[in-house]
Structure 1
Amino acid sequence: MFGPRGTGFIWGRPEAWKTLQCTIPTFHSPFVRIWAKDTPFQEQPPGPLMTPGGFHSFEHRWALGKAFEFHQQLGRQRVAERIHALNRQMKEGLAKMPHVRLRTPMAEALSAGILCFEVEGWKASDVVHRLEERHIIATVTPYVTKYVRISPSLFNSPEEVETALRELRALT
């Protein structure tokens, strides 16, 4: 939905909410009083319970309606097809490079919009920095084993994917 890094939302059936467990206490006052045992537990709507305390990004929440509207206008199928096509183009291009080891499966049933790979002789952070210098967005996976992560998405063009591939080919 193109929200800022670290933001997200959950949309679920009412019966599914009962299976979730809050891990970060909310600052929503009815829950704080229950948590502090000042008031007895009573059913509350799940949204506030699952919303951690702290600063809330209201402008991002306010934009969700337009984001959903945009996705509904395009249609779920078209969005999925576009993301898969661009990622297929990127995976196929990366797989042809002898100095690149693609870590994301080629099968579309096993991958979608995030691709991970390694470039022989390069640290993932150096590849990301090099791409960043060329105005190509990539990140390093936040795990013990570091990979370059790139995500061709809805707003990218096939030409932009080719530009990224050209830059990665040059890293020999």
Structure 2
Amino acid sequence: MGHHQHVHEHDKGLRANLHWLRQIRKFWQSDTNRAVTDLVDVQAGETVLDIGAGMGPATVVAARKGATVIAVDPSPMMRKMLSFRRLGQRARSRITVADGVAESLPAADSTIDAAWTVNAIHHWVDLEAAFDELARVLAPGGRIILLDEDFTHPDHPLYATHSGHEDELTNVVVDEIAASLTARGIEA
């Protein structure tokens, strides 16, 4: 499973990069990402995993809370942005920016206390492989939050920017995800 399958708007040339840079304010600080770190109850001393970390709004919050964060993203542009951002953080020693995908996580077995993804599941190529990886890396009692907005719904504020890209996105069905996680011993 190569990273090439995870190509999305982030890595489609200069025009796409400029588009994302114009959106930086929206993705640099995110109430949604902050809420996810609160809901997953990030604690100091824990090792946590931010899958599809992007520019790192949740990564930075978790590191400030005292967690060691592995921030995974397949996009070279997003990793560069987060690596740059990491330099300005007091907690930078607790942040590792890693090239990776949900289907092949860069973490050892049973080492992750909490994991999350915010608006990245629709990029995952093989959901079952990703859930196998989550089950592999989560420590006993580990917690996860998988959040994905439906950008293709006409009522979503960003519908206009995502409409027409449905063929690039993995279909996310909540009940199926819950059943897959439960089958792997992960409370859903």
TM-score (norm. length: structure 1):
0.30
Question: 1 or 2 for the larger relative contact order (CA 8 Å, sep ≥6)?
Answer: 2
Indicate the structure (1 or 2) with the bigger Cα radius of gyration: 1
Higher share of residues assigned strand: 2
